[in-house]
Amino acid sequence: MVAIPNELIELLSEANHVAVLTGAGISAESGVPTFREAQTGLWSRYDPEQLATPEAFANNPRLVWEWYDWRRQLVSSVEPNTAHYALAEMAARVPKFTLITQNVDGLHQRAGSDGVIELHGNIVRTKCFDCGRIAYNVQELQETSGQVPPRCEYCAGLLRPDVVWFGETLPADALNRAYDASRNCDLFFSIGTSGLVYPAASLPAQALSQNIPTVEVNPQSTPLSGAMTFILAGPAGELLPQLVALAWPHSSQETE
Ligand code: BV8
Ligand code: ZN
């Protein structure tokens, strides 16, 4: 049982603006393998960092497309977990809440969070590799053309998942809003991320540079653990509901 410091509970219950960065670990308890965990089955022989690149897609569009198809089906077959729901509850309790995610699984939105800042895009959305237009009828295109990946109906370019691959720049607006929140909030959480991928991993350091209390929620330690104000060394699915119940005791009775 991980003890949650009273000082953190007080900071959260009095916070005016809470900012949260999440990574693949928050979806682990939903059954979505984390990005760096050994991939299961067919994909176990591939390194995600080698597949999630424009070069991999250019070299073998079918392989990369099928990897994302597998992940899309996996994600659509799981449910958000208690950690996603606890963040949606927290957002309802604080005056200002900014949720920033590196995840591409859309589970925060399915748990009721809105205004989610998706730094790395979302595998549910598909766009054209060449003209960048979003494709809304992928299933139909795939069935009628039989092509894998299907092609853009405007320019016949290859369709790809609307995610940010390694070596690609993050959506500028999303990144600016994330930086802004990490520097202006009064409490920052880094949840379920190994802190290896930049520029997302620089967000907790941004908060710390402004002397904003910063909390890491992760069963493992990360390169940032040493600098954190608070460490909750356990699974987000257990710790976040506990934290919310302690910060807003009446809300837990309401939901019982
Ligand atoms: C960029 C979308 C400017 C796709 C992802 C050389 C050339 C080019 C770039 C670079 C370079 N060297 C470095 C870079 C920058 C590079 C980078 O940071 N590389 C790293 C690996 C060194 N970054 C980029 O390329 C970014 N773009 O910099 O553009 C530029 C351009 C050209 C040249 C230079 C710069 C783009 C990065 C975005 C990549 N896309 N995803 C897809 O998903 O398919 S990143 C990918 O990693 C996922 O989005 C994932 O979210 C993200 C981060 O991983 P984590 O979320 O942290 O997941 P991980 O598995 O690592 O860790 C899970 C954690 O959860 C663990 O700590 C575990 O302990 C914990 N956990 C487990 N269970 C639980 C839990 N925690 C809580 N509760 C639990 N139950
Ligand atoms: Zn196109």
Residue pLDDT, tens place only, 56-108: 999 999 999 999 999 999 999 999 999 999 999 999 999 999 999 999 999 99
Atom of ligand 1 nearest to the CA of 29: 80
- Ligand 1 touching residue 41 (CB < 6 A): no
* CA 199/CA 44 separation, integer angstroms: 27
pLDDT at 211 over 60: yes
If we measure between CA atoms, which residue out of 7, 12, 28, 8 comes closest to residue 218?
Answer: 28
Which residues, listed in sequence order, are joined to residue 162 by a DSSP beta bridge? 122
Query: Once rounded to an integer, what is the mean pLDDT over residues 173-201?
Result: 97
- Ligand 1 touching residue 172 (CB < 6 A): no
pLDDT at 181 over 90: yes
CA of residue 198 to ligand 1 center, whole Å: 7
Which ligand has the minimum distance to the alpha carbon of residue 36? 1
Check residue 39 and give its pLDDT: 67
CA of residue 231 to ligand 1 center, whole Å: 21
The CA distances from residue 210 to 18, 97, 110, 168, 195, in Å, are: 14, 18, 32, 28, 19
pTM score, two decimals? 0.95
Check residue 103 and give its pLDDT: 97
- Ligand 1 touching residue 71 (CB < 6 A): no
- Ligand 1 touching residue 167 (CB < 6 A): yes
- Ligand 1 touching residue 241 (CB < 6 A): no
Check residue 199 and give its pLDDT: 98
Output the average pLDDT for the chain: 94
Catalytic positions, written as ranges: 120
Ordered by start, the domain boundaries in the chain are 1-31+80-120+170-256, 33-77+123-163
Check residue 37 and give its pLDDT: 77
> Using an 8 Å Cβ cutoff, are 204 and 190 in contact?
yes
pLDDT at 253 over 70: no
* CA 46/CA 197 separation, integer angstroms: 19
Tell me: the pLDDT tens digits for 220-242? 999 999 999 999 999 999 999 99
33-77+123-163 adopts what CATH topology? SIR2/SIRT2 'Small Domain' (3.30.1600)
Residue type, 99: L
The protein residues having their C-beta less than 5 angstroms from ligand 2 (an ion) are 128, 130-131, 152, 154-155, 157
Reported confidence tier of residue 250, pLDDT bands at 50, 70, 90: confident
Check residue 5 and give its pLDDT: 97
Nearest residue (CA) to ligand 1, atom 40: 165
Tell me: the pLDDT tens digits for 38-54? 666 667 778 888 999 99
Reported confidence tier of residue 34, pLDDT bands at 50, 70, 90: confident
Percent over 70 (pLDDT), the chain = 95
- Ligand 1 touching residue 235 (CB < 6 A): yes
Instruction: Give every CB contact of residue 254 below 8 A, 6+ residues apart in sequence.
Output: none
Superfamily of domain 1-31+80-120+170-256: TPP-binding domain (3.40.50.1220)
Strands 159-163 and 121-128: antiparallel
Reported confidence tier of residue 251, pLDDT bands at 50, 70, 90: low
Nearest residue (CA) to ligand 1, atom 35: 167
* Angle separating helix axes 236-247 and 82-93, nearest 10 degrees: 30
Query: Once rounded to an integer, what is the mean pLDDT over residues 171-196?
Result: 97
Check residue 122 and give its pLDDT: 97
For 218-242, the three-class secondary structure string (H helix, E strand, C coil) is CCCCCCCHHHCCEEECCCHHHHHHH
